[in-house]
Structure 1
């Protein structure tokens, strides 16, 4: 096909946040649209007939009635938990001790880390996810494996070495100093290489001493352009645990804030049981919250306040939280977000759900200029959805009176069979 290629089909993109702008005005829909891909980027977007006429010699990949979207962005995952996804469990802490920590112990083996990294990226590509922000393990080998595999595939990813120096098995603990040293070395090696970014990654306050949290805060101060990812207020018993470990802290968020781990480039996974001060401080600094709905139901964590937090102006991304989440699919994650919002009395519109998985997550991780959009000049990460991928979905879609009625059954019932094609960095990765 050469360097240039024309993708044609039904285009859906976002030009505004449908939580703050009426969804009719927030969306760009082109029923007979096209994207010109050149040099790994989207060079042009518009009506198919017009772009064909302007570029008559460019090879076309025609997707017909399929829906062309920005690739899905998963804003909070644990790739090392791939093999133990959907493990029966009780509460968060029991689940970590029973399944997560024993599995993560294996990632000091570079061969095993490489095997799981490749498997994870295969599975997520099959589900239409083109970028993600991942926790690794305490082992530098796990970070090397993930970045090496993503680099081979030309993917835009963010990840970091998880730091833990207490309340974890001995073989899964580093120290404040080694956590800092290893993280700094990995950051300096990988951050900004190709499409790779480093995230400073203290797992959460219960597994880091104040000294380690301060060390991570110091590293972030030295590299403020990096993301910092952690967990916040996932379960009520976790919140009580934190209060016992940090008796002088004002609240859970203060255990991060006091150590330099609160900022605009901070990603705070879950954020379900937030106190009023925490909400105000997160909003004040412009931090991002990440909603993990399938994980929240699977581990019984609680109901994220999507409507309330978005109405207050918070930045929010969407995530599977593999493997606390029970599925690799961002479609399933959107469906779960809809269900959880219903339990809080809000019916999220399909435009809002798709925005969360694309532009919303891109905004949460500070990359709206690069991914999560089909805008010309941005990176060509694209997912193409078949809106009639199964008999159950097809029979419902045939009754649709508009695009939203056609796409909503795929959000609620779709899986990897709905993913017709995936393009990563302007190259076909699936389909």
Structure 2
């Protein structure tokens, strides 16, 4: 049995309205499961090892519900373009390179290493159409200590010849082979990944629907991100009244198919109702939506409706893997929507975005994203001593500053499912053992 205590300033969410703070308290992990948070350590835990992070911040690991691993190599480029032009100018050209395994090895080494050093513990990741490269990505994330899902992308139409699968049947065959091969991994699991409706024929969606039912897989894709994209889907799918129906008619829009839809910036009332009723997760990607001029999603409305929401970095339309950036931009974008568009939708606050980055997105992975008893023990330790200040700050204020000012250099330790993740690929545990009194 693997048991330990962590001591420090513990911050976590019970819900999206309250930030729980226990100053120099204790959180206990037993076989990767949280056993609760305590102001005073119970006697039964006083003799087990303690990671002593006195006065540092201990938070649940962040969850990234939407990131494109092959795009990490060109983050920060093409940000003057809108979505469809950006895809054709930068994205497709880069993703075609992953047919060469040597290139994929070099690129995914960088991506996985930076994921290891980040405050992210769980992620839902897009690969490319290439089986070998996608399996390589899964292997590197497994080695990096991340838990989550990786998808081999499907696209058999409206794509350049160099990045378009030969047929729906071939795409499905390759996908099934990849699903079977991915069983070798313990912490990284497969997720069906039709890129988006414009690049997937009806025949391919039918094939993927069959695979979803056969292997009981979750699904991830994009939804209502951009006006041009929405109009294109309506043209391609005249039998649907809104974008989400183009997924729903194949049984891949929540209900028995656990689903993440990225963006949902311009979803109609009917689409929102279907997402709510069928339990579709929304991956809110505020930096991406800003960079590609897509708009600002009505996250206040979604939260108030009790919908399932988390945050996504959406690299490379987002410029960084940092969920600190995703949180701060979620607040900033909500302020712009409130001020310029809809003053009935109040801006998001610190409690809400912290919830989205932890417990909100964590729900997609099960009991993940908080320190309540019975949840999987994902934790990140933050050292804010480099953010100098003359005044006394309470712990909540220190966390708030971290959301706006921190980067991965402030991460001093990370645990995923109770296991320490070294900062370096070949490193050892860096946590500090000490007394637990």
- Conservation of the 8 A alpha-carbon contact between 1:113 and 1:141: no
SS in 2 for 1:344: helix
Counterpart CA distance in 1 for 2:29 and 2:38 is: 14
Counterpart CA distance in 2 for 1:135 and 1:259 is: 21
Query: Which is worse superposed, 238-247 or 134-143?
Result: 238-247
Find the counterpart in structure 1 of residue 65 from structure 2: 75
Instruction: Give the CA RMSD over aligned residues.
Output: 2.1
Deviation string 1:338-385 (CA, Å, 9 cap, x unpaired) is: 00111122232212111101110012x2x232x212234443321112
SS in 2 for 1:212: helix
Instruction: Confirm whether residue 11 of structure 1 aligns to residue 39 of structure 2.
Output: no
Structure 1 residues 43 and 288: CA distance shift in structure 2, 3 A? closer
Deviation string 1:237-256 (CA, Å, 9 cap, x unpaired) is: 11112222223321211221
5+ residue gaps, structure 1, are none
Find the counterpart in structure 2 of residue 350 from structure 1: 350
- Conservation of the 8 A alpha-carbon contact between 1:33 and 1:45: no
Counterpart CA distance in 2 for 1:231 and 1:191 is: 26
**Any residues of structure 2 matched to 1:95-114 within 5 Å, and which?**
95-114=86-105
Counterpart CA distance in 2 for 1:411 and 1:38 is: 29
Matched length: 412
Find the counterpart in structure 2 of residue 252 from structure 1: 243
Find the counterpart in structure 2 of residue 133 from structure 1: 124
Query: Which is worse superposed, 289-298 or 413-422?
Result: 413-422
- Conservation of the 8 A alpha-carbon contact between 2:242 and 2:271: yes
5+ residue gaps, structure 2, are 339-345, 424-429, 431-437
Structure 1 residues 342 and 140: CA distance shift in structure 2, 3 A? same
Instruction: Confirm whether residue 373 of structure 1 aligns to residue 370 of structure 2.
Output: yes
Instruction: Confirm whether residue 185 of structure 1 aligns to residue 180 of structure 2.
Output: no
Structure 1 residues 349 and 387: CA distance shift in structure 2, 3 A? farther
Deviation string 1:204-251 (CA, Å, 9 cap, x unpaired) is: 011111111221122222233x21000011111111122222233212
Deviation string 1:66-121 (CA, Å, 9 cap, x unpaired) is: 11111111000101111111112311111111111111011122232233223212
Counterpart CA distance in 1 for 2:34 and 2:355 is: 22
SS in 2 for 1:347: coil
- In the superposition, the TM-score normalised over structure 2's length comes to 0.88
Structure 1 residues 304 and 43: CA distance shift in structure 2, 3 A? closer
- In the superposition, the TM-score normalised over structure 1's length comes to 0.90
Deviation string 1:289-312 (CA, Å, 9 cap, x unpaired) is: 110011011111101101111112
Deviation string 1:392-426 (CA, Å, 9 cap, x unpaired) is: xx45xx343x4332221211122123222222341
Counterpart CA distance in 2 for 1:312 and 1:37 is: 33
Find the counterpart in structure 1 of residue 168 from structure 2: 176
**Which of 196, 221, 236 is residue 230 of structure 1 equivalent to?**
221
SS in 2 for 1:282: helix
**Which of 143, 157, 164 is residue 152 of structure 1 equivalent to?**
143
Counterpart CA distance in 2 for 1:217 and 1:10 is: 46
Deviation string 1:34-72 (CA, Å, 9 cap, x unpaired) is: 233444x14533336525x54454333221211111111
**Any residues of structure 2 matched to 1:28-427 within 5 Å, and which?**
28-39=20-31, 41-42=32-33, 44-47=35-38, 49-51=40-42, 53-89=43-79, 90-174=81-165, 175-190=167-182, 193-224=185-216, 226-264=217-255, 265-345=258-338, 346-363=346-363, 365=364, 367-369=365-367, 371-391=368-388, 394-395=389-390, 398-400=391-393, 402-425=394-417, 426-427=419-420
- Conservation of the 8 A alpha-carbon contact between 1:351 and 1:404: no
Counterpart CA distance in 2 for 1:207 and 1:336 is: 29
Structure 1 residues 291 and 360: CA distance shift in structure 2, 3 A? same
Counterpart CA distance in 1 for 2:63 and 2:73 is: 21
